Amino acid sequence: MALDLSLYLVTDSTPAILGSRDIYKVVEEACKGGVTIVQYRDKTSDTGALVETATKLHDITKRYNVPLIINDRVDVAIASGAEGVHLGQDDMSITAAKKILSKDAIVGISASTVEEAVKAVEEGADYLGIGTLFATPTKTNTKNIIGTAGVKTILDSISRLNRTVGTVGIGGINLSNVQRVLYQSAAENKALDGVAVVSAIMAADDPKAVAEQFKKTIATPPAFVRSSPEASAAGDVTALAAAVPEVVQKVVKFHPIVHSMINFVVANFVANVAISAGLSPIMSQYGDEAKDLAVHGGSLVINMGTLTSASIGEYLKAVKAYNTNGNPVVLDPVGAGATAIRRDAVKTLMAGGYFDLIKGNEREIRQVYGNTANLTQRGVDSGPSTLNDVEKATLARDLARRERNIVLITGTIDYLSDGQRVIAIKNGHELLSKATGTGCAIGTICGAYLAAYRDNKFLAVLAGLLMYEIAAENAAAKDTVSGPGTFLPAFLDEIHSIWQKASEGDLTWAQGRAKI
């Protein structure tokens, strides 16, 4: 029978996780709930006790037709009649283990780098435990926290090898992130076969119910995919530009709520932009409020411009609420590279949720991607360019491909990508860079457009951006405008004027205006 790795339970006997529960009972309940494979992992017991526990666990797993794997110890696997072993990088080699074990024994191994994974596959591993995905209290001595991006890179490399191998992700996986893990870690030609969990099931009050929920959750794509099917890469730029006015009209009709966890410097201006554009803004920093707000079909914008020690926890609560509902979330990593705290914050946010759109200037997006050689960021302003046009376009595409989302790099030329295609947008006006908040408002506008126009995320962001930048061009062209001070009110007027036209069904405002 083929190895079913879809829900892989790894046991833990420590007081912090197992507590006063009975390991046999927990494993039996988990089997009833549908785990497909069990690993007995016990780093402290003596050999005699290991064999005794493993033998008893095997009596249970056999009854459910679930293979039992023993962590580290080939001798314990043989003595207990278990179906296989799971080796760490410091344990006996795969080749050595295979010499001792019966020929149909399952041999799995942990891998956290491409080199380890490729080597293991070449040595004939049956499956790889790939991690550590997310920092987890269950195992604090992990070598590498690799995130979904790291898993994807490993899957991509082993998909090129001429050998089939099973794969499970491990580390910090739970019911609320499992769908995103499976979705975002998938490489072009290889996705994870399953997930391995310890605490999510071993520490659960009702392991059977949790295992059942895992089975259901794993079988369903995440809500952010269900509510917004990925549009095909088809559609040339002329067709996209032509579709913009209708998208704007739809958004105006929908009057979406946009919940911005935005920095205090620009909150007032951004709220005014949103109102002028016919949106319904709410500026709330309180993560627990998101649950109630997320049900209205609006979007969330995380703008970390005035980060505090309390912000991250609030952001994560809000992101979770919106992700669960499948409502769009935008990340604006303001000043992402400016301080160690912001660099960490970006990592924590990326590990903690799905962002339908990541929007930032070139340096911020480089920081998010991890392309940080010679990257400096002094403050939150964008600074001179560090990349040429092709490099910027490539960066947008690579990040969008890695995260399976939309990426917008703003600047004199904006680069928008969905991981397949990249378009460069030359609209806008220099005066936009002379006042604060004009960049942040793009996050809020595009968030609202994503909420109101779900057919095509790429087009939604393009429409929001073009509406905004054409309004800026209109404002700058007025004879009353002589600098940033006179520009800002005129800009709000022009955004409002486009709103008015769109709500009256006038689609001509954008004709011939897109510079893409």
- State the Cα torsion 385-391-397-400 to the nearest 10°: -40
- Position 120: which residue type? A
Choose among ligand 3NM, Mg ion, none what residue 397 binds, the Cβ cut-off being 5 to 8 Å by kind. Answer: none
- Scored b (16 or more CB within 10 A) or e, 353-375 reads bbbbbbbbbbbbbbbbbebeeee
Cα within 13 Å of Cα(392), Cβ side: 22
Q: Judged by CB, which is closer to ligand 3NM: 60, or 200?
A: 200
Tell me if residue 343 falls in helix, strand or coil.
helix
Minimum Å distance from CB 37 to ligand 3NM? 14
> In the structure encoding, which two tokens stand for residue 512, read together?
């011939």
Question: Contact 467/501 with Cβ under 8 angstroms?
Answer: no
Site for Mg ion in 81-100 (CB under 5 A): 88, 91
Choose among ligand 3NM, Mg ion, none what residue 131 binds, the Cβ cut-off being 5 to 8 Å by kind. Answer: ligand 3NM
Q: Judged by CB, which is closer to ligand 3NM: 136, or 285?
A: 136
Minimum Å distance from CB 112 to Mg ion? 13
Give yes or no for residue 29 binding Mg ion (CB under 5 A).
no
Question: Contact 352/173 with Cβ under 8 angstroms?
Answer: no
- H or E element that contains 273: helix 267-276
Q: How far is CA 229 from the centre of its chain?
A: 16
How far is residue 304's CA from residue 334's CA, in Å, rounded to a whole number? 5
Minimum Å distance from CB 85 to Mg ion? 9
How far is residue 54's CA from residue 82's CA, in Å, rounded to a whole number? 8
Minimum Å distance from CB 161 to ligand 3NM? 21
What secondary structure, in 3-state letters, does 323-339 show?
HHHCCCEEEECCCCCCC
Q: Judged by CB, which is closer to Mg ion: 91, or 398?
A: 91
Question: Contact 116/165 with Cβ under 8 angstroms?
Answer: no
The active-site residue, picked from 66, 125, 422, 440, is 440
- H or E element that contains 393: helix 389-403
Q: Judged by CB, which is closer to ligand 3NM: 42, or 494?
A: 42
Minimum Å distance from CB 515 to ligand 3NM? 48
- Position 287: which residue type? G
416 pairs with which residues across the strands?
Answer: 408, 423
Q: Judged by CB, which is closer to Mg ion: 72, or 364?
A: 72
Question: Contact 418/457 with Cβ under 8 angstroms?
Answer: yes
Choose among Mg ion, ligand 3NM, none what residue 138 binds, the Cβ cut-off being 5 to 8 Å by kind. Answer: ligand 3NM
Q: Judged by CB, which is closer to ligand 3NM: 79, or 145?
A: 145
Choose among Mg ion, ligand 3NM, none what residue 173 binds, the Cβ cut-off being 5 to 8 Å by kind. Answer: ligand 3NM
Minimum Å distance from CB 13 to Mg ion? 15
> In the structure encoding, which two tokens stand for residue 390, read together?
């092709």
Choose among ligand 3NM, Mg ion, none what residue 142 binds, the Cβ cut-off being 5 to 8 Å by kind. Answer: ligand 3NM
Q: Which residues bind ligand 3NM (CB under 6 A)?
A: 10, 110, 129, 131-132, 136, 138-139, 142, 170-173, 197-200
446 labelled catalytic: no
Minimum Å distance from CB 174 to Mg ion? 23
Question: Contact 299/256 with Cβ under 8 angstroms?
Answer: yes
Cβ partners under 8 Å of residue 493, min gap 6: 276, 475
Q: Judged by CB, which is closer to ligand 3NM: 210, or 406?
A: 210
Residue from 72, 116, 314, 356 in contact with Mg ion (CB under 5 A): 72
Is the previous residue joined to 132 through a cis bond, with omega within 30 degrees of 0?
yes
Choose among Mg ion, ligand 3NM, none what residue 199 binds, the Cβ cut-off being 5 to 8 Å by kind. Answer: ligand 3NM
174 pairs with which residues across the strands?
Answer: none
Q: Judged by CB, which is closer to ligand 3NM: 347, or 421?
A: 347
Choose among ligand 3NM, Mg ion, none what residue 456 binds, the Cβ cut-off being 5 to 8 Å by kind. Answer: none
Q: Which residue is nearest to Mg ion (CB)?
A: 88
Minimum Å distance from CB 316 to ligand 3NM? 16
> In the structure encoding, which two tokens stand for residue 308, read together?
């505090």
Choose among ligand 3NM, Mg ion, none what residue 398 binds, the Cβ cut-off being 5 to 8 Å by kind. Answer: none
Q: Judged by CB, which is closer to Mg ion: 51, or 387?
A: 51
Q: In what order do the strands lie in the sheet with 406-410?
A: 280-283, 257-261, 299-303, 329-332, 357-361, 406-410, 414-417, 422-425
| Alpha helical stretches, state H, 405-508 | 438-452, 457-476, 484-503
Choose among Mg ion, ligand 3NM, none what residue 171 binds, the Cβ cut-off being 5 to 8 Å by kind. Answer: ligand 3NM
> In the structure encoding, which two tokens stand for residue 130, read together?
């790939």
Minimum Å distance from CB 166 to Mg ion? 18
Largest CA distance in the chain: 88
> Which active-site residues does the annotation give?
440
Q: Which residues are at the interface with Mg ion (CB under 5 A)?
A: 72, 88, 91
